[in-house]
Structure 1
Amino acid sequence: MSTKYFPKDFLWGAATASYQIEGSPLADGAGSSIWHRFSHTPGNILNGDTGDVAADHYRRYKEDIALMKEMGLKGYRFSIAWPRIYPYGKGKINVKGMDFYDRLVDELLEAGITPFITLYHWDLPATLQDLGGWANRDIACWFADYADYMFQRLGDRVENWSTLNEPWVVAFVGHLFGEHAPGMKDIYSAFLVTHNQLRAHSKAVRAFREANIANGKIGITLSNTSHDPATDSMEDKIAAKVAHEWNNYPLFLHPIYYGDYPDTVKEFLKEYLPKNYYKDMEEIKEEIDFVGINYYSGDLVKFDPDSPLGGKSVKRGLPKTEMGWEIYPEGFYKILKGLQDEYNPKEVYVTENGAAFDDKVENGEVHDHKRIDYLKKHFEMAHKAIEDGVKLKGYFVWSLLDNFEWAFGYSKRFGIVYVDYNTQKRIIKDSGKWYSQIIKNNSLDF
């Protein structure tokens, strides 16, 4: 066994999202979000769960930051609930909502933890959805105004910002598959939402530059699944390439870095792209400081002439998490290395990586050894990627706390801290204790 060290000042942390952990969604003058509406609509969420209480972080944030400090976290990635700041999405500011994030940031800094803010993690103000939401071109300006206000308020203490979390999921799981808020099934809207998120992102980046935050960095956080061809046949290779360029970082980074959508997207999906989309591409091409990579799983892609994209996902018999996702750490390396080779970003952060397992409390402890094994194998691949030239600067485990897992409600646990939803008692799992040693030593035993 040998010890491999990570770079000095590597930012080890954990990640959360506002609607998934905060609870109290309408407290202190906050407005309703699309996820509040969606979860309160019967039939949308497993067991009829909602984010009304979640992990009660809105009221227990000091307790949670104390746990972060106990585990030795260097960074904490969290998102701002847009409707807490602008109850109607724009216009009047809700001072009490802003006060919460002021207190949260100050408490983190007091604990020596670097705040890493995501401006949008899916909880759009419901009033903006009534105006068309992400399908309305005006949202690029609404988002930029919101982002600019956050930069002005927190930029004196927060250096690291991500504009959007997983815009692919917003566009396609929310507007094509209908499984997430706002629950639509319209492929034309999905691509319009993709495009408008890119426009919103670029306007927010420009506002960030104008805010002139000292040592400030801004980027975008993207979802990724490793798509490998099922065989060496040309058909399978093409199908896997299409799946990669539509599902993964190229769909958003190609416009940001090169001012156009990927070739396969234009070839296979051009019918669905917004009319005259190319007129916006120069505006979208805006330099960013880092790319955030979210990765959980991989699959094989086999040519399928009946599929709109020419391929279908096939499993390969690997162990799976509670989500039914195959555990494929090698795919994580492929995503990280591919990103660096294709776009050469200045910096890369793993903004989410983790796994759901069926965690049980035994004598006041949670022995989640499967999660430790999952994380260890992915940490190994991250280290290999660094050795091979990937400019990886930090790693945020998903998730700090067990939480509201979107359409799955409270049925899936991703946390390194266990949450008893009846009492809100927290228990640091074995994975959290193990992770604290990784952070302390900044190294991994292979």
Structure 2
Amino acid sequence: MKKFPKDFIWGVAAASYQIEGGVNVDDRGESVWDAFCRWEGKVDNGDTGEIACDHYNRYSDDVKIIRQIGAQAYRLSISWPRILPEGTGRLNQKGIDFYDKVIDACLAANITPWVTLFHWDYPLELYYRGGWLNRESVNWFADYTEVIVDRFSDRVQSWMTLNEPQCFIWLGHGTGTHAPGLQLDISDQLRVTHHALMAHGKATQVIRAKAKTTPSVGWAPVGVVRYPATEAPEDIEAARRAMFGMSGTHLWTNAWFGDPVILGHYPEDGLRQFGKAMPRYHDADLEVMNQPLDFYGANIYNGLTVRASEDAPFEEMKRKPGFPLTMYEWPVEPQSLYWGPKLLQERYQLPIVITENGLASMDWVCEDGKVHDPQRIDFLSRYLKQLHRAIEDGVDVRAYFQWSFLDNLEWNFGYKYRLGLTYVDYATQERTLKDSAFWYQNVIRSNGLI
């Protein structure tokens, strides 16, 4: 059996907009995703988060599901506009009450809440005031963080500031495929990034200054993984260059986000690459971004093989015909859960938390009333074996959060894809634990893989 460290944390994850529903009740304000879902053609099938998994009303039963699975921790996010309907100022007590109930239900079930402050549901009213393009967004986010910390830090110790800034910036403000649906030039995307990273830093300062219990603070960026074709030193160096070098005029990168936050500066090759497109900033901005963190979170689903090249820093290898793909058409690459944590820790010298990992599979309720998802079990088993290998090789991995404990709204794909351990019938809201939920239950119970 491949045993994990005795204090290893096994968890599940979800996000507010994807599961809660209840968008028009109890004085919740609108988010950019509410507006985006109304934009014809932007979300598959015209799906919205209006009801989603109805977690707003079914949170108690959902916490029981998490307990049944055996997860020791639940990574949840808080909806900013549910707490502050206009994004700033007026507090919505009913929103506070909801998260009070969720957190208390988790603690009563011996499940530790890990709270993400921002998982993309940006307040619509603040978007109308410039959103992340407005430098005031840094202070807006800090003020929101202070409200959350004041209300919940007596029971919450583990915090994440931003989820996948690469996604909400590049997809939301570059390609326009995510909310708020903007297609900005690279200079404005860089401005948005600068403000988001400052917001992360300000929020971290607030947590450390205001928390009522000793906090553990991190974040949850995309882990953009590149791994070596062989374990020859030159191929490993090529993977290192591919993971942290800047190439192209896009923001699907580790270093442009991780370096300012952890190392206190933007990567030099990125500054050269973006040149005059960079917004003006002060050294003090970088000091705000660069706050001490307790862990480096990474959402890792796949990667890409590279090898050494005589003509370039690395060469991306083409996948073979018929390479395994998930329903999302994402490649199945278990090695990413070895090399991703290994190279991220090597660069940033922080404990690693896998804040998301999972797959979209072909799931339905079978004639026997069960949901058989052997591909998910095989996928998770392969990935966790590679994570175990990383730990054996000395990588300090503290926790693993499976995405997700429920099928849910998969952003612009609506309800087309299912990534949950639990099947959700969106018409009836009936939940059915899949075979993978019981498999994961056994993994957690034994703290290892057979």
Q: Same fold (TM over 0.5)?
A: yes
* 1:20 corresponding residue in structure 2: 18
Q: Distance in 1 between matches of 2:320 and 2:276?
A: 33
Describe the shift of the 1:310–1:191 C-alpha distance in structure 2 as closer, same or farther (beyond 3 A).
farther
The alignment status of 1:422 with 2:421, answered yes or no, reads: no
* 2:357 corresponding residue in structure 1: 353
Matched position secondary structure for 2:58? helix
* 2:50 corresponding residue in structure 1: 52
* 1:265 corresponding residue in structure 2: 270
Describe the shift of the 1:391–1:302 C-alpha distance in structure 2 as closer, same or farther (beyond 3 A).
closer
Q: Distance in 1 between matches of 2:266 and 2:66?
A: 40
* 1:208 corresponding residue in structure 2: 207
User: How far off is 1:239 after superposition?
Assistant: 6.3
Matched position secondary structure for 1:224? coil
Q: TM-score, structure 2 length as denominator?
A: 0.92
Give per-residue Cα distances to partners, 1:22-45, cap 9 Å, x unaligned: 011121000000000001111110
Cα pair 2:226 2:240 within 8 Å, conserved: no
Q: Distance in 1 between matches of 2:297 and 2:247?
A: 20
* 2:447 corresponding residue in structure 1: 442
Q: TM-score, structure 1 length as denominator?
A: 0.93
User: How far off is 1:358 after superposition?
Assistant: 1.2
Q: Distance in 2 between matches of 1:355 and 1:32?
A: 29
Describe the shift of the 1:237–1:391 C-alpha distance in structure 2 as closer, same or farther (beyond 3 A).
closer
Cα pair 1:356 1:412 within 8 Å, conserved: yes
Cα pair 1:302 1:314 within 8 Å, conserved: no
Matched position secondary structure for 2:302? strand
User: How far off is 1:282 after superposition?
Assistant: 1.9
Instruction: Report matched runs for 1:272-311 at 5 Å.
Output: 272-276=277-281, 278-300=283-305
Cα pair 2:240 2:343 within 8 Å, conserved: no
Matched position secondary structure for 1:41? coil
Unaligned runs of 5+ in 2: none
Q: Distance in 1 between matches of 2:336 and 2:291?
A: 28
Q: How many residues align?
A: 437
Describe the shift of the 1:330–1:144 C-alpha distance in structure 2 as closer, same or farther (beyond 3 A).
same
Q: Distance in 2 between matches of 1:108 and 1:235?
A: 44
User: How far off is 1:211 after superposition?
Assistant: 1.1
Matched position secondary structure for 1:25? coil
Q: Distance in 2 between matches of 1:122 and 1:163?
A: 11
Cα pair 2:10 2:399 within 8 Å, conserved: yes
**Which deviates the most, 404-413 or 237-246?**
237-246
User: How far off is 1:432 after superposition?
Assistant: 0.5
Q: Distance in 2 between matches of 1:132 and 1:156?
A: 33
Q: Percent identity?
A: 42
Q: Distance in 1 between matches of 2:389 and 2:140?
A: 41
Q: Distance in 1 between matches of 2:238 and 2:71?
A: 45
Unaligned runs of 5+ in 1: 304-308
Matched position secondary structure for 2:143? helix
Describe the shift of the 1:315–1:265 C-alpha distance in structure 2 as closer, same or farther (beyond 3 A).
farther
64, 74, 77: which one aligns with 2:75: 77
252, 255, 261: which one aligns with 1:256: 261
Give per-residue Cα distances to partners, 1:91-130, cap 9 Å, x unaligned: 0000001100000000000000000000000000000000
Instruction: Report matched runs for 1:347-386 at 5 Å.
Output: 347-362=351-366, 363-386=368-391
97, 102, 105: which one aligns with 2:103: 105
The alignment status of 1:177 with 2:175, answered yes or no, reads: yes
RMSD, matched Cα: 2.4
Q: Distance in 1 between matches of 2:263 and 2:383?
A: 30
